[in-house]
Amino acid sequence: MNPPVSSVPTKVKEATAIVVMRCMLVSYAQERGVAFERVALEFARSKTYEDLFDFDDGIWREGPTYLRVLYEEELAERKREKEPTKTNDY
């Protein structure tokens, strides 16, 4: 049986979050043919990054695939927000 999340030391949560983040970013950068450093800097400015290190959310324990889904959803939402609103001008 796993211990309650509240009993996991913060240092362990931080280390786990970093490993999850790094695994996700390595595969993300490789698949897109972009430098890891660039992807890491962009990710560090994201809400997903903030959420990862908000240990109450528990994202740190979910794994790189889940983290990537959250990040890609955030990027898609940002893209939609930047698109001009279409109007019906008749």
Name the average pLDDT for the chain. Answer: 91
- Cα distance between residue 82 and residue 77, in whole Å: 9
Tell whether pTM > 0.85.
no
Provide the CA 50 distance to its chain's centre, in angstroms: 8
At residue 4, the pLDDT reads 67
CA separation for the pair 51, 21 (Å, rounded): 12
What pLDDT, on a 0 to 100 scale, did the predictor assign at position 87?
Answer: 62
Q: Among 5-9, 53-57, 79-83, which range has the highest average pLDDT?
A: 53-57
pLDDT confidence tier of residue 82, bands split at 50, 70 and 90? confident
Contact by Cβ (8 Å): 1, 44: no
What secondary structure, in 3-state letters, does 22-66 show?
HHHHHHHHHHHCCCHHHHHHHHHCCHHHHHHCCCCCCHHHCCHHH
Query: Per-residue pLDDT tens for 23-44?
Result: 999 999 999 999 999 999 999 9
Banded model confidence at residue 83, pLDDT cuts 50, 70, 90? confident
Backbone angles phi, psi at 14, to 5 degrees: -60, -45
